[in-house]
Amino acid sequence: MRRIVLRSETDWDGWRQATRALVQAGAEPGTLTWAVSGDASPLPDAAGTFQVPRALMALASIAIQAREPERFGLLYSLVWRIGAGEKVLKDDTDPDLALVRRMALAVRADAHRMRTGLRYLPVAEDGGVRYLGWFEPAHFVLPANARLLARRYPKLRLSIVTPDGSAHWDGASLLFGDGLRHAADDEALQAWWDAHRDMVLDHASADVSVPEAEALDEAPRSPDRPAIGPVVLNEGADPDLRQAAREAGSCRRCPLYGPATQTVFGEGPAGARAMFVGEQPGDQEDTIGRPFVGPAGQLMDQAMEEAGIDRRMVYVTNAVKHFKFVARGRRRIHQTPEVPEIQACGFWLDVERTRIRPILTVAMGASAARAVLGRAVTIGRERGRPIRMADGRTVFVTVHPSYILRLPDRAAKDREYAALVGDLRLVRDLMDAG
């Protein structure tokens, strides 16, 4: 038996290098054992090249993150069989392929759970803030996910701690270090971080082979479209509005500032023709500090893209600038804002509107419509058409993307999503015409 030793549970480069050399040397799958520690047999020299379908490598880059120890050998045997001329990928009944696909599905689901379920604890650091999160993944999804998050949030300092290890992003480099077996609550996590931070960061390493991260990103994007989240710019924003955003950071106009992490102000370029208004930041927006970067934001982005609206060209904000929630254990459950809270925050919405002067304001959902129109609105009755206001403004009401996310069945979701895209196409036409 030849013993192949990889450098880590997700040593994608090591697995590819070994696989290339072994397939070319004619090493049958049954003659190999794969491990991540212990003594290794030397690899044969690789000579020549052979083609592996791109689809198989994409699948393997996900499945290698599964926790099942047999995955390395299983993936090797698929490549080996393809090298021997078998049309493995064309045979949906192939049991090995089916197993690898199931592993990849489980990894994707786990990665998604991590990205949406991670809740960050802001910890003060060197005059800034580091967002610290603890998560227990079912699979080895930390490295690729951390790379994805680092790319998505280039300006944040993030540390994600799991029992398998931790990942640390400081806006420039991504390091991997020791993990923490269990964090009962935020206090325990903070205490561990306070006690171990320097040691973890001093020993953390960038020299870790990370599987392809893109394959985990389940929302396919066209190549010219930036990732959602922090890429949406405030660089081109009006300086007065930037000043207003700073002042809103210490807003005490209603009690919602108390439990929230931070004020989430609107963002978008000066001169935006349309202003999109949501209800209030959600859990992820509260953590990150930017509007519509969580699941509702992703749906909104997708619908905008389908309707031909470039999110980077519009101003996106909320009726209420603080996240209103009730805590249940480590989870924070969204609460609809009350009318007085919407009214108190109307001050900031007015500032945004006065500075941006959009030709069209799009209110998504009942709270936004109330904030923009100043009265109670039944969405079903008023959606989908321009509403001309006495002061010359044009308002357009549609549903909130979270409404679609909450619908229980696929058919209803599809129907309502198509209706939202239909509304946004009208918005695009109004923007073009105005």
Q: Residues in the site for ligand URA, rule: CB under 6 A? A: 278-282, 285, 291-292, 294, 296-297, 318, 402
Residue keyed to tokens 């935020």: 186
In the bound state with ligand URA, the residue whose beta carbon lies nearer, of 13 and 338, is: 338
- What are phi and psi for residue 395, nearest 5 degrees? -120, 145
| Nearest in space to 135 (alpha carbons), one of 125, 146, 124 | 146
376 membership: H or E segment, kind and range = none
Interhelix angle 12-24/71-83, nearest 10 degrees = 40
3-class DSSP state of 374: coil
3-class DSSP state of 423: helix
In the bound state with ligand URA, the residue whose beta carbon lies nearer, of 139 and 400, is: 400
- What are phi and psi for residue 46, nearest 5 degrees? -85, 130
- What pairs with residue 5 in β-bridges? 35
Tokens of 80: 């080996």
Looking only at the bridges linking them, the beta strands covering 274-278 and 360-364 are: parallel
Structural contact between residues 141 and 155, judged by C-beta atoms closer than 8 angstroms? no
Tokens of 62: 């996900």
| Nearest in space to 317 (alpha carbons), one of 283, 361, 359 | 361
> What is the smallest separation between the CB atom of 404 and ligand URA, expressed in angstroms?
12
In the bound state with ligand URA, the residue whose beta carbon lies nearer, of 261 and 280, is: 280
> What is the smallest separation between the CB atom of 190 and ligand URA, expressed in angstroms?
26
> What is the smallest separation between the CB atom of 427 and ligand URA, expressed in angstroms?
17
In the bound state with ligand URA, the residue whose beta carbon lies nearer, of 77 and 298, is: 298
> What is the smallest separation between the CB atom of 117 and ligand URA, expressed in angstroms?
16
Per DSSP, which regions of 91-200 are E strands?
A: 121-125, 128-134, 157-162, 165-169, 174-177
- What are phi and psi for residue 219, nearest 5 degrees? -95, 100
In the bound state with ligand URA, the residue whose beta carbon lies nearer, of 14 and 229, is: 229
In the bound state with ligand URA, the residue whose beta carbon lies nearer, of 140 and 323, is: 323
> What is the smallest separation between the CB atom of 278 and ligand URA, expressed in angstroms?
3
> What is the smallest separation between the CB atom of 368 and ligand URA, expressed in angstroms?
7
In the bound state with ligand URA, the residue whose beta carbon lies nearer, of 73 and 249, is: 249
Structural contact between residues 363 and 389, judged by C-beta atoms closer than 8 angstroms? no
Structural contact between residues 74 and 96, judged by C-beta atoms closer than 8 angstroms? yes
Q: Can you tell me the distance from the alpha carbon of 413 to that of 90, in angstroms, rounded to the nearest whole number?
A: 32
The separation between the first and the last C-alpha atoms of the chain, rounded to the nearest angstrom, is 73
> What is the smallest separation between the CB atom of 287 and ligand URA, expressed in angstroms?
11
In the bound state with ligand URA, the residue whose beta carbon lies nearer, of 81 and 334, is: 334
> What is the smallest separation between the CB atom of 324 and ligand URA, expressed in angstroms?
11
> What is the smallest separation between the CB atom of 229 and ligand URA, expressed in angstroms?
11
> What is the smallest separation between the CB atom of 364 and ligand URA, expressed in angstroms?
7
> What is the smallest separation between the CB atom of 318 and ligand URA, expressed in angstroms?
5
234's CB contacts (< 8 A; 6+ apart) are: 242, 245, 267, 268
In the bound state with ligand URA, the residue whose beta carbon lies nearer, of 297 and 358, is: 297
**Residue nearest to ligand URA according to CB distances in the complex:** 278
In the bound state with ligand URA, the residue whose beta carbon lies nearer, of 56 and 248, is: 248
Would you say the C-alpha torsion 114, 119, 124, 127 has a positive or negative sign? positive
In the bound state with ligand URA, the residue whose beta carbon lies nearer, of 163 and 257, is: 257
Would you say the C-alpha torsion 409, 411, 416, 420 has a positive or negative sign? positive
| Nearest in space to 316 (alpha carbons), one of 362, 347, 348, 277 | 277
- A 10 A CB-CB count for 2 gives 17
